[in-house]
Amino acid sequence: LSGEILPKLASLTRLKFLDIAENRFSGNIPAEFGALTNLQHVNLAGNGFQGRIPAFFANLTNLKMLSFQNNQFSGEIPSGLGTLINLTDLSFAQNKLSGTVPPTLGNLTRLKTLSFAKNTLSGTFPPTLGSLTRLTTLGVRDSGANCSVESGQSCVVKQTSSSLFCYWCSDFCSYCVPISNPLPMAPPPSSPPSSGLSLGAIIGIVVGGILVIGLLAIGMLLLYKRRSTKAPEKSNPQAGDGSFKEESSMPSHAHMCQRYSFAEVSKATDNWAEANHIGTGGYGEVYRGVSPSDPSVVWGVKRAKILTNDFRREVEEMASKSHPNLVRLLGYCVHIDMATEHHEQIVIYEFCSNGDLEKYLSGGPKKGSLSLEQRMEVVVGVARGLEYLHQFDIVHRDIKPANVLLDANMQAKVSDFGLVRMTEGTTVNPTRVVGTPGYVDPAYSRTNKATPMADVHSFGVMMLEIMLTKPVVMHVNGGTNIRDWVAERVQLGEVDALKDPHLDTVPSELLLKLVELALQCTSLPASSRPHMTEVVAQLVAMKREFVKDGGSAKKSRMQKIDDEVAMRKTGSNMEEELELLDEMLG
């Protein structure tokens, strides 16, 4: 989407979630936005918005997340933003902001992440930032304000009673080494000098101390790297020694994540208790855990059964992608026990309380329990998640129900998307075909080259499985793929044979359209398949046409609107989208 934001969007006064990131919007933010007082999440990142940050944002007091990142905003940071006391994430990074950091930001005591990186700010950080006791990440690189950060993508902080201490983080927080130099903050006017030493002596001591500690840190890193290169190749990790203690967290939308120690993850899972063991996936054992810093946050913890040399890059890839239909990465752990040469690679996801989609399709008490509305929400959600990944040339390569998780609101989230290789150009050449029999694209199997069309094929197979509640391999003729069985039924005109007995309300016309779309997704050659953008557009059109208002269906759509603004990135008419949302909201 491009152009300027339509002021009509402000008519959606019940809106809670507005995410128009990574588009090509430009111009100023309409003043009418100030009426959207129910907003809790606003992500404007990755556009071309210009001008000053509007002062009316100070009126949106329900905001919890606010990102102006990667735009062309200029001028000073509005001091009124200090009234948004519910904020936990705030980013001004990658703009053209000038002036000093307003002291009022110290009122945002719930902040966990705050970034000023890559701006043209001046002065020093106000002492009021020392009151941000929950702050875990402070992005200051190239901000223009005065902070002694030697390297790295952000200034990771450890909170003390009155000041923030910087850590040098290199290569996306793989190694975090304390430098022990406090974040320089402008002292209060009445602060008396703390030492009788001259300014020159103080500077000499500080500079000398930093140099000594920096040399020690470099020596430790070189020693560790030398040791790690002597380890067997199969256990060669891509991240640092577990002896370094990480204190910071970096959210996925900021392209980073928190690194935890093995002790912290073990404690979170109650020492890998059997009661917390959820199951075994393609990546490894899966556990339920509780965040050590916030007991209300539940984790999904995946423990690798096969170590990979690409772990760091895969984690970075997962952390850099944020979408409502992707499982959010919360952290990771690399554990190295030098004495036993035991290595661990662990990823930590948001926990989805309704489990994976597979249990709603295979045998068990929940088989066939999904309503038509829920099934449509799931297929649309997965399609949107894949569409987002394909924009970055990322091929999942293992789309199946077990890799689709359902959160507390039954919203579908694609998982394990970062545990595959990013395509080089348009293809990737792995040493073996990755995927699950029945879902793997035949073209991928023959050529060993995965393109986004491989995901389109797997999605088509899974869509048939979702709508028909039939196994991917049918027990007919010695075992027939569901795709071939369905194609034969359609060719013979036996559409009624496709209906799920658990779902007798599905209109035959809708079922036929869904089946035809799924067959298009699985057609050969692969070049004849639709892209996920086209798939999303067709599914959304079907949902609008066949899923009528009333009852639980309307409630589900209302929840969807509250959770996510469907600002399509397909070049669709934005005016029509807003009219539809307005009609739904009554």
* CATH 3.80.10.10 domain position(s) in the chain: 2-187
| Active-site residue, 398 included | yes
Residue pair 155/181 in contact (Cβ under 8 Å)? The answer is: no
* CATH 3.30.200.20 domain position(s) in the chain: 252-350
Distance of alpha carbon 419 from alpha carbon 294, whole angstroms = 26
Give residue 374's pLDDT band: very low, low, confident or very high (50, 70, 90): very high
Beta bridge partners of residue 302, listed in sequence order: 286, 347
What's the pLDDT tens digit per position in 13-58? 888 888 888 788 889 998 888 889 999 999 998 899 999 999 999 9
- Say yes or no: domain 357-547 is CATH 3.90.550.10: no
CB environment 196-226: b (16+ within 10 A), e (fewer): eeeeeeeeeeeeeebeebbeebeebbeebee
Average pLDDT, the chain: 74
163: which residues sit within 8 A by CB, 6+ positions away?
Answer: 130, 182, 183, 185
Distance of alpha carbon 325 from alpha carbon 486, whole angstroms = 28
Distance of alpha carbon 486 from alpha carbon 515, whole angstroms = 8
- Which of the 8 DSSP states describes residue 447? H
What's the pLDDT tens digit per position in 65-98? 999 998 999 999 999 999 999 999 999 988 999 9
> Which range, of 234-238, 262-266, 346-350, 437-441, averages the lowest pLDDT?
234-238
Q: What is the pLDDT of residue 159?
A: 36
* CATH 1.10.510.10 domain position(s) in the chain: 357-547
CA distance to 130, 165, 166, 194, 280, per residue, from 179 (Å): 18, 8, 7, 21, 41
What pTM did the predictor assign? 0.53
- From the candidates 398, 416, 441, 455, which is the catalytic residue? 398
Angle at which helices 532-546 and 452-468 pack, to 10 degrees? 20
Residue 28 CA neighbour count, 13 Å, CB half: 10
Tell me which CATH homologous superfamily contains domain 2-187.
Ribonuclease Inhibitor (3.80.10.10)
Asked if pLDDT for residue 427 goes beyond 80, the answer is: no
CATH topology of domain 252-350: Phosphorylase Kinase; domain 1 (3.30.200)
For 217-250, the DSSP string reads HHHHHHHHHHHHHTS-GGG--SS--TTSPP----
